[in-house]
Amino acid sequence: MDERTPDDRRRPSRDDPRRRTRDDPRWAGRDDAWWAARRAGFSQAGLAEPVPWADPREVARLRASRGRGRPGQPLVPTSVASPRLSDELFARLLAYGTPQETHRGDVLFQPGDEDVDLIVVERGTVAVIRTATADVPAATVATVDAGGFVGELNLLTGQNTYLQAQVQTGGTIYRVSPERLRQLMANDVELSDIVFKALIARRELLQRSTAALSVEIVGGNRSAAALALRTYAARQSLIHLWFDADTPAGRAMMRSSSLTADDLPAVVLPGETLRQATPGELADKLGLSYRRSSTKPVDVTIVGAGPAGLAAAVYGASEGLDTLLLDAVGTGGQAAASSRIENYFGFPFGLSGADLTGRAVLQALKFGAQLASPCQAVKLDTDRNGQLLRLHLQGGEVIDTKAVVIATGARYRALPLERWPDFEGAGIYYAATELEARGCTGSPVTVIGGANSAGQAALYLAGRGSEVSLVVRGADIAAEMSAYLVDRLLAHPRVTVRHRSEVTRLDGEDFLEEVSITDRTADETQAQACSGLFCFIGAEPATDWLTGIATEDDGFIRTDVQLTGDDLGPAWAALGRRPLAFETNVPGVFAVGDVHSGSMKRVAAATGEGASAIASVHKAIADLG
């Protein structure tokens, strides 16, 4: 008779190869092949190694796949992908599920399935398989035995599954539905911490495993359409692989998937290939577009998933509001384009914008916020239909919601030059603080703009030892700039003002190295070295989709004390109150972050406004009765 406790039976024996870890002295010095022989498995005790991949060609591809904006450091160590639960915790986890007897060969979920369950294995074994694609055969990604659970972060993001779960040894599983998983996350802090960390760690492991071959993106390295796809995939932390079409691996992948140059960019999914793919099509296929199963109106819909919108989502969801967060591009906003944010409170060594916003996304998901992107709001009906606001999306969907938070930010005006997006954050900046200027000290720089912000930046950079070319489109710098600045600029030995001039070309490898400036009077173009291009030609709020919302002349949204009596229609008299903090002239509609008039245009200010607005949202919803 087997004398072991149920806990012992689930735990592999001390000599079981699955218990070996690299820091165990008994296995020191073993090579990768030996470790690979341990077999992949993310629910095995002590698993601290990445899931192995089969051939070196894949390793090269995987290395090449780290897309722009992807967070650098994993948030949790990958070792927590394989939690071994105590009997008591395991029983608590089972209590959220519904039992099902299984037999060898049963398929528990397969690629494309929506709203999959977390699968807890009480008895038996389940294999997680990447099914075959056009260019690679099927492979086992992980095996999960009794005491483990099958699932990764898509259980929270709502992404359709891209892997298959198949029963290897029959037994009993418990299915925890998405709804029950959310209840677990909200009600059981101890269990939710373990499960949530495991889901995050598995996403990290899967990105480095053969599972990444489930979503293959191929396109030109310099193609804007391919970059849009890659940026979307990176911002959503999608498990995927990127192929540059101009490399041997890319060409081989295109051949085996029967793709031609006209098909690019393309995405190869299990059983399906998207040609001339867009982020919207990819999101539709993966189930990341907007969809709503409930017929109930949303409590708060947040438009824009930059720092302001993400903070609103974290606070809204954590305070029990049914919270929907939409973004026209992907999560992260402008902040995701910042390679290093050094002035964000609490991070003395700085962190990348993608890292910061990636963490916020996980936090919002953990509290149960629904995220959808790309998902563009195109209209907001501001005359409340009964009690509700109606938000219209580009695809024609309409969302009934009790409150709306507008967090659509502002777009810095850019010049329509080839390679401009390549150099944003890599030589092109929209601010001239210590952070941006550090890499340019003593090197020649170019400042564009004729207003005070450009003048101040030029003086600041010249003061740090740079030769500054101030490029002004008009004939007279004094037309828009304060006299004191004009005098100082003209007197400064390291500032050259280039009137009636424009930057017309950018050059460099990964970083901006040279600009061409065209003098419109002489009709001459001159190339010159440039380690930093500082652009101050204004910012435009993303408010063109709104009507009936009070704004300043420049389009930035006015709220609360910025609103005058003339802005407030009869609805306010009926409500018997003035607009709350961050509330616009339309009751229940709020504006936060860069889109808000007078905002500081900084990450910390945006997150502060997003979080604070939720207190007002609660009051506005309470007013609805």
Ligand X SMILES: Cc1cc2nc3c(=O)[nH]c(=O)nc-3n(C[C@H](O)[C@H](O)[C@H](O)COP(=O)(O)OP(=O)(O)OC[C@H]3O[C@@H](n4cnc5c(N)ncnc54)[C@H](O)[C@@H]3O)c2cc1C
308 touches ligand X by CB under 6 A? yes
Nearer to ligand X, 146 or 377 (CB): 377
> Segment near ligand X (CB under 6 A), from 68-76, 80-88, 330-338, 507-515?
330-338
Q: How far is the CB of 535 from ligand X (least distance, A)?
A: 10
Closer residue to ligand X, CB minimum distance, 124 or 309:
309
H or E element in which residue 219 lies = strand 216-219
Among 325, 354, 497, 606, binds ligand X (CB under 6 A): 606
By CB under 6 A, the count of residues binding ligand X is 36
> DSSP letter at 246?
T
Q: Looking at residues 146 to 185 of the shown chain, list those that interact with ligand X (rule: CB under 6 A).
A: none
Report which of 377, 391, 366, 372 is spatially closest to residue 314, judged by C-alpha positions. Answer: 366
What single-letter amino acid sits at 454?
Answer: A
Q: Which is nearer to ligand X, 431 or 563 (CB)?
A: 431
Nearer to ligand X, 157 or 166 (CB): 157
Provide the 8-state DSSP code for 55. -
Query: In angstroms, what is the minimal distance from the CB of 582 to ligand X?
Result: 12
User: What number of other Cβ atoms are within 10 A of residue 383's Cβ?
Assistant: 10
CB neighbourhood size of 471 (10 A): 26
Smallest separation, CB 487 to ligand X (Å): 31
Q: Draw the binding track, 346-385, toward ligand X (x: CB under 6 A; -: no contact).
A: ------------------------------xx--------
Please, what is the Cα angle at 114 between 110 and 118, to 5 degrees? 75
CB of residue 596 to ligand X, shortest distance in Å = 8
Pull the structure tokens for residue 284: 């539709």
Nearer to ligand X, 35 or 545 (CB): 545
DSSP code of residue 334:
G
DSSP assignments along 70-129, one per residue: --SS-SS-GGGGS----HHHHHHHHTTSEEEEE-TT-EEE-TT-SSPPEEEEEEEEEEEE
Q: Per CB under 6 A, which region of 118-126, 510-518, 522-530, 593-601 contacts ligand X?
A: 593-601
Closer residue to ligand X, CB minimum distance, 75 or 604: 604
Q: Who contacts 366 (Cβ-Cβ below 8 Å, separation ≥6)?
A: 156, 185, 192, 196
**Interface with ligand X (CB under 6 A), residue from 153, 185, 234, 305:** 305
Q: For residue 211, give the DSSP letter.
A: G
How far apart CA 282 and CA 214 sit, in angstroms, is 13
539 binds ligand X per the rule CB under 6 A: no
Min. distance of Cβ 600 from ligand X in angstroms?
7
Binding of ligand X by 594 (CB under 6 A): yes
Where in 67-126 is the site for ligand X (CB under 6 A)? Answer: none
* Position 611 contacts ligand X (CB under 6 A): no
Nearer to ligand X, 133 or 331 (CB): 331
* Cβ–Cβ < 8 Å for 551, 524: no
425 near ligand X, judged by CB under 6 A:
yes
Tokens of 434: 């210590």
| Structure-block tokens of residue 223 | 């193609």
Contact 148, 121 (CB under 8 A): yes
Rg (CA), the chain: 27
**Shortest Cβ 207–ligand X spacing (Å):** 23
| Token pair of 118 as six digits | 């977390």
In terms of CB distance, is 307 or 316 closer to ligand X? 307
Nearest to 465 by CA among 532, 545, 518: 532
**Distance between CA atoms of residues 288 and 297, nearest Å:** 20
* Rounded CA separation 535/424 (Å): 10
| Contact string (CB under 6 A) for ligand X, positions 227-256, x = contact | ------------------------------
Q: For the window 383-422, what string marks contact with ligand X as x by the rule CB under 6 A?
A: ------------------------xxx-------------
Choose, by CB under 6 A, the member of 234, 341, 445, 468 that binds ligand X.
Answer: 341
CA-to-CA distance for 258 and 85, rounded, in angstroms? 46
Rounded to a whole number, what is the distance in angstroms from the first to the last CA of the chain?
64
Token couple for 457:
């930046």
What is the distance between the alpha carbons of residues 230 and 379, in angstroms, rounded to a whole number? 28
Binds ligand X by CB under 6 A, chosen from 245, 356, 603, 611: 603
Nearest CB to ligand X, comparing residues 184 and 389:
389
Which residues 428-447 are close enough to bind ligand X by CB under 6 A? 430, 435
| Binds ligand X (CB under 6 A): choice among 328, 477, 481, 539 | 328
Quote the longest CA-to-CA distance of the chain: 97
Show the site string, 478-497: x = touches ligand X by CB under 6 A, - = not: --------------------
Give the one residue of 307, 358, 449, 587 binding ligand X; rule: CB under 6 A.
307
Tokens 């029959």 belong to 170
Query: Minimum CB separation from ligand X for residue 613, in Å?
Result: 11
Min separation Cβ 334 and ligand X, Å: 4
- Determine if 545 is a binding residue for ligand X (CB under 6 A): yes
- Residues 617, 619, 621, CA angle at the centre, nearest 5°? 70
Minimum CB separation of residue 536 from ligand X in Å reads 13
Please give the backbone phi and psi of residue 181, each rounded to the nearest 5 degrees, phi first: -65, -40
Q: What residues pair up with 143 in beta bridges, in sequence order? A: 127
Residue span binding ligand X (CB under 6 A) among the ranges 164-172, 216-224, 264-272, 299-307: 299-307
- 608 forms part of the interface with ligand X (CB under 6 A): no
Q: Which of 279, 306, 358, 444 binds ligand X (CB under 6 A)?
A: 306
460 lies in the site for ligand X, by CB under 6 A: no
Residues near ligand X (CB under 6 A) are 303-309, 326-329, 333-335, 337-338, 341, 343, 376-377, 407-409, 424-425, 430, 435, 542, 545, 593-594, 601-604, 606
